[in-house]
Amino acid sequence: MTPHTRTPHTPTPHTPTPHTPTPHTRTPHEAISRLLATYAERIDAGDFDGVAQLFDHGEIRDGDGSVVAAGRDQVRALYERTTRRYDDGTPKTKHLVTNVVVDVDPSGTRASARSTFVVLQAVPGELALQPIIAGTYADQFATTDLSDRPDAPGASTAGDATEPGSWRFTSRQMHVDLVGDLGRHLLFDLH
């Protein structure tokens, strides 16, 4: 038996190279997962304008299904009046979004997703790192159309929603399942 030796692979001019997907080459699951992550990144950065931008054509609902904010201005105002920001401009949180399940309707223009969220928070000198709230997001999405082009009046510039055929939030319903110490996160009593 002769030992097998590996020879290094030298790419040929015909070897495909990895590429970064564009909004037109991402699958719906990839594009929607990206929106979920973008929401988490923006809220953790204290970027309430950026969060609101994701809901240019969307609304936020409470656990009972009541609309609490619709459109950019209302969503921004919601986060500004409910979420504490510290001297560095952030809420000192980390939103983790997991267990993402995306369902795309047969037309390929609408989708829904459900996911689990856990929010961690640490405030130096006040609160050790700990989970403060957990629950489920129930989201609805739609693809953009030609009226949503970046040059159209009122067009969305949220994430990838600047090109026709990309995805955007139409609704987010938040179901709270577990509550910890929210006193350093929210500006109101959740109970």
37: CATH: 3.10.450.50
**Structure confidence at residue 178 (pLDDT):** 98
Q: Distance (Å, rounded) from C-alpha 79 to C-alpha 167?
A: 23
Domain around 94: 28-179
4 is a domain residue: no
The structural domain count of the chain equals: 1
pLDDT tens string 31-44:
999 999 999 999 99
Rounded to 10 degrees, what is the CA torsion of 43, 47, 52, 56? -120
3 is a domain residue: no
Question: How many helices and strands in the chain, by DSSP H and E?
Answer: 3, 6
159 is a domain residue: yes
pLDDT > 60? residue 150: no
Contacts of 32 (CB under 8 A, 6+ apart): 100, 102, 111, 113, 139, 141, 167
**Structure confidence at residue 26 (pLDDT):** 85
191 is a domain residue: no
Mean pLDDT for all residues in the chain: 85
156 is a domain residue: yes
**Structure confidence at residue 190 (pLDDT):** 85
**Structure confidence at residue 106 (pLDDT):** 95
pLDDT tens string 8-61:
444 444 444 444 555 557 899 999 999 999 999 999 999 999 999 999 999 999
pLDDT tens string 78-126:
999 999 999 999 999 999 999 999 999 999 999 999 999 999 999 999 9
